[in-house]
Amino acid sequence: MTAPILRRLADLRALTRRWHGDNETIGVVPTMGALHKGHLSLVKAAKAGCDRVIVTIFVNPKQFNNPEDLANYPRTENEDAEKLAPYGVDAIYVPDPEEVYPQGFSTTVTVSGLTDVMEGPFRPGHFDGVATVVAKLFLQTQADRAYFGEKDYQQLLVVRRMARDLDIPIEVIGCPTVREASGLAMSSRNLLLSPEGIATAVKISEVMQTLSDRLINGHPFEPLKQQAEADLLNAGFSQVEYIDLRCAETLEALPHASRPARLFVTAWADGVRLIDNIAVPAT
Ligand code: PAF
C-alpha cells in the first residue's frame, strides 16, 4: 500500500505527536527523491530500527551551487511513492517549498572544519545548504533516528556533528554504500551516464580497491595516489578532482593507513561528477 504523502508541516506534526504520544520511535530517511536501491536500503534499516518511518523528498535548492544541476535534477515523485510501497513506510513528507523556506527565511547552519576539505572547496555553499535543510527536517519530523548512506560520507559526518552541536535529540546512523554487481556505487547521477560512461565509471571502485590493498600492505599513500590518478585518466575519466586518504572520524589527511581511514575519490566521466569512498582498516 502506498504511504500517505504529506505536504504540510501541520499534518506531519499531527502524526508525529500521536506516534510519540504512543511511545513509538520515529525514523527518518531524508532524500531528494529519484530513489534507488541505496535509498531503499536506508528505508529497510529504518524499518528494522524504528516503530514508524518517514521518508522525506525535497530537492533542496540551497545545496546546489550550479543552477543547471538543480534544473536537471530528476523529479520522480510518483515512481518514488511506488518504489516505497512494498516497504510499509508510514509517511512520505514532500514539503511545499514554503514549509521549508518560508518568506523571509534568513537562517543558515554552518558546520566548520569538516566542511573545509574535499566537497567543501569544490562545491561552495553546498554543506551550508545540506546542514540547514537537514536541521529543519530533523526538527520538523521530530525523528529519533536518521539514516544516511556512507556513499556521501562527508555529508554523514557533517549532519552528525550538526545534530550534536545543536543538541537535536536524534541518532544519526550511517549505512553501507549499495553497489551494482560491477562495484559501481548506486547514485541518482548514474542515470545520466551513457553505456560508455558506465563502463568508465565502474573503474573507480576497482582503482580504489587496488589502492586500498596496497595501503593495507603498508605502502605510503602519495605515490599510490599518483598511480591511481593516472589509472583513472587512462580508463577514460576526463578529470580527477581529488583522491584523499583521511581519518574516518575527523577527516584529517593521512600519509599512511595508520588508523581507521576512508579513501575518497571524486572524478568526472561522461560529463557526470562521480564520488565514492571505501573504508581502509588501520595497518
Ligand atoms: O543526500 C541527499 O540526498 C541530500 O543531501 C539530503 C541529505 C536529503 C539533504 O537535502
Interatomic CA distance for residues 282 and 251, integer angstroms: 15
pLDDT of 1 strictly over 80:
no
- Sheet containing 239-247: which strands, arranged edge to edge? 239-247, 261-269, 272-280
Which atom number of ligand 1 is nearest to the Cα of residue 56?
Answer: 8
Q: Separation of 244 CA from ligand 1 center, angstroms?
A: 22
pLDDT of 84 strictly over 90:
yes
Residue nearest to atom 1 of ligand 1 (CA): 31
pLDDT tens digits for 248-271?
999 999 999 999 999 999 999 999
Task: Tell me if residue 36 is catalytic.
Answer: no
8 A C-beta contact, residue 187 and residue 168: no
8 A C-beta contact, residue 242 and residue 274: no
Residue 83 has what pLDDT? Answer: 97
**Which domains, ranges and CATH numbers included, belong to the chain?**
5-175 (3.40.50.620), 188-280 (3.30.1300.10)
* Residue located via cell numbers 548512506: 149
Q: Please name which of 9, 14, 49 lies closest in space to residue 28, comparing C-alpha atoms.
A: 49
Selected catalytic residue, list 39, 126, 219, 256: 39
Integer CA distances (angstroms), 254 to 60, 127, 215, 261, in order: 33, 23, 11, 8
Residue 73 has what pLDDT? Answer: 87
Residue 91 has what pLDDT? Answer: 98
Torsion of CA 77, 120, 117, 202, to 10 degrees: 40
The helix/strand/coil state of 255 is coil
Q: Separation of 239 CA from ligand 1 center, angstroms?
A: 25
Residue 2 has what pLDDT? Answer: 83
Q: Separation of 51 CA from ligand 1 center, angstroms?
A: 23
Q: Report residue 283's pLDDT band, with 50, 70 and 90 as the boundaries.
A: confident
8 A C-beta contact, residue 45 and residue 35: no
Nine-digit cell at 283? 595497518
* Bridge partners of residue 31, in order along the sequence: 57
Residue 72 has what pLDDT? Answer: 85
Find out whether the beta carbon of 57 lies less than 6 Å from any atom of ligand 1: no
What percent of the chain has pLDDT above 90? 95
| Predicted model pTM | 0.97
Find out whether the beta carbon of 133 lies less than 6 Å from any atom of ligand 1: yes
Torsion sign (Cα): 191, 194, 199, 205: negative
Residue nearest to atom 3 of ligand 1 (CA): 31
